[in-house]
Amino acid sequence: MPELPEVETVVRGLREPLVGRTILDVWTDWPNSLRGADPAAVSARIRGQQVVAIDRRAKYILCRLSGGDVLVVHLKMTGRLYVAQADEVHDADRWVHVRLSLDEGRQLRFSDARKFGFVSVVSDVKELAPNLGPEPLTDDFTPAYLAAQLKRHHKAIKALLLDQEFIAGVGNIYADEALFRAGIHPLRAADSLTKAESARLFGTIREALTAGLEREGASINWYRKPDGTSGSAQLHFMAYDREGQPCVTCGTPIEKIRVAQRGTHFCPSCQPAKRRTARKGRPAQT
């Protein structure tokens, strides 16, 4: 699933062709792509509104409209979002399930092979996700916040990093990359991290996300930029998707386990497992 670097790259790639365009109509052949909303009602609500800005919150793409509504897109696993002239044909068109007709003969197309993504019209993204955590690349995310929140959770640190109410936009790829850079085992209990480890993790979360963003995301499966080209972050992974390959630091083969039902990659030498701190009344785990 695209994460913060991928979604932010899509947002940046859509601004030039989409901001300033006026929505003329909405089409869909898969109502679930509109969260079950009536296509005619959605079209009536946003018809005639102009796209005035595009930004991101967590993994949500937010197209802000002149009438105050927000057109929200979540790419999920296989979603792609791009602007094309009405007569243009693209490879991803075979999976287009939502299409917005725009002025000047353009279309905003939402292609989604597995149909897990969605387009929704709301007044505020909080209607869809009321409890999102802070954005990790903004001033709202601080070392003090991270340290305080870690002490409130006993779950595995990898699982906590995937929780969008804990921190917004981090997913499987960049959680693995941040933990590797910080030298922290993905199964460590969050509240067992020392002050130094917490501070180190704060920095590596930002480092991993910034590196992914500078390389315009990781095109390892379906993710592509709005112009159809690939990002290059996948060429520089240190841990993610490198099972059996030598660690870039020590040469030990990267291992893969499952944490929170997600494939998780780490170096057993650089990220040693430590005894999880036991709470009163519950046994320690190793």
Q: Which residues are catalytic?
A: 2-3, 59, 262
For 160-187, letters b (16+ CB in 10 Å) and e give: bbbebebbbbbbbbbbbbbbbbbbbbbb
Strands 51-57, 23-28: pairing kind: unpaired
Spacing of C-alpha 78 from chain mean position: 12
User: Phi/psi at 94 (nearest 5 deg)?
Assistant: -65, -20
Spacing of C-alpha 232 from chain mean position: 16
Task: Answer positive or negative: Cα dihedral of 129, 76, 138, 165.
Answer: positive
d(CA 124, CA 146): 26
User: Phi/psi at 253 (nearest 5 deg)?
Assistant: -60, 135
3-state class (DSSP) for residue 108 = strand
3-state class (DSSP) for residue 157 = helix
Please choose, from the candidates 284, 121, 260, the residue with its C-alpha nearest in 3D space to the C-alpha of residue 186. 260
For 241-255, letters b (16+ CB in 10 Å) and e give: bbeeeebeeeeeebb
